[in-house]
Amino acid sequence: MMEEVKPVVLFETEGSYPFSGGGVSTWAHILCTELQEEVDFHLMAITGNPFVEPRYKLPKNITDIIHIPLWGVEEPVHYFDKTLPFSGQIEKKARTTKEVVKQRFLPLFIDFISCLNDPFQDVDKISDIIYGFWKFFQYYDYKITMKEPMLWVVFKDSLQEKYVENYDPELGDTPKVIDMTFGMRWLYHFLMPIASPIPKEVNISHSTLAGFPALASIAAKYEYGIPSLVTDHGVYMRERLINIGRSDMTFFSKKMLVDLSTMVTRAVYHTADQISPVTTANQKWEERFEAKPENILPIYNGVDTDLFKPTPKPTKTEGTPTVIAVAQVFPLKDIETMIRTCAIVRKTIPNVQFTVYGSLDVDADYVDTCRELIKELDLENNFTFGGFHNNPSMIFNEGDISILTSISEGFPYTVIESMSCARPVVATDVGGIKDALEGCGILCKPRSPNEIADGVIKLLEDTDLRIELGNKSREKVLLNFTTDRSVKNYLESYKKLAAMPSEPLKNKVKTESVLNLIEYLRVKRLAHAN
The upper half-sphere exposure of residue 374, i.e. CA atoms within 13 Å in the direction of its Cβ, equals 19
Determine the pLDDT at residue 433. 94
- DSSP β-bridge partners for residue 12: 44, 207
**Residue 316 neighbours by CB distance under 10 Å:** 10
Contact 9, 202 (CB under 8 A): yes
User: What pTM does this model have?
Assistant: 0.84
Mean pLDDT of all residues belonging to the chain: 91
d(CA 224, CA 163): 40
For a pLDDT cut of 70, what percent of the chain falls above it?
94
Q: Above 60 in pLDDT, residue 171? A: no
Domain residue ranges of the chain, discontinuous segments joined by +: 8-300+501-529, 322-481
1 pLDDT band, cuts 50/70/90, is very low
**Residue 344 neighbours by CB distance under 10 Å:** 17
Question: Which H or E run includes 24?
Answer: helix 23-34
d(CA 9, CA 295): 19
149 pLDDT band, cuts 50/70/90, is very high
Q: What DSSP string describes 245-287?
A: HTS---HHHHHHHHHHHHHHHHHHHHH-SEEEESSGGGHHHHH
Q: Above 90 in pLDDT, residue 387? A: no
d(CA 59, CA 36): 7
Question: Which H or E run includes 10?
Answer: strand 8-14
Question: What per-residue string of b and e applies to 23-57 under the rule 16 or more CB within 10 Å gives b?
Answer: bbbbbbbbbbbbbeeebbbbbbbbbeeeebeeebe
Determine the pLDDT at residue 474. 98
d(CA 69, CA 47): 5
Q: Above 50 in pLDDT, residue 350? A: yes
Pick the more confident residue, 300 or 74.
300
Determine the pLDDT at residue 324. 98
- DSSP β-bridge partners for residue 353: 322
- What are the pLDDT digits (tens) for 421-476? 999 999 999 988 999 999 999 999 999 999 999 999 999 999 999 999 999 999 99
Q: Above 60 in pLDDT, residue 46? A: yes
Q: Above 60 in pLDDT, residue 167? A: no
How far apart, in Å, are the Cα atoms of 113 and each of 92, 153, 490?
A: 25, 12, 37
d(CA 151, CA 109): 7
d(CA 419, CA 309): 9
326: phi then psi, degrees, rounded to nearest 5: -120, 110
**Residue 6 neighbours by CB distance under 10 Å:** 14
Out of 3.40.50.2000, 3.40.350.10, 2.60.40.10, 3.30.2420.10, which CATH number does the structure's domain 322-481 have?
3.40.50.2000
Question: Which H or E run includes 68?
Answer: strand 62-69
d(CA 364, CA 343): 23
Q: What DSSP string describes 319-357?
A: TS-EEEEE--SSGGG-HHHHHHHHHHHHHHSTT-EEEEE
d(CA 360, CA 327): 9
- What are the pLDDT digits (tens) for 75-130? 666 544 566 665 667 788 889 999 999 999 999 999 999 999 899 999 999 999 99
- What are the pLDDT digits (tens) for 507-520? 999 999 999 999 99
Q: Are strands 401-404 and 383-387 parallel, antiparallel or unpaired?
A: unpaired
When pLDDT is averaged across residues 256-275 and rounded to a whole number, the result is 95
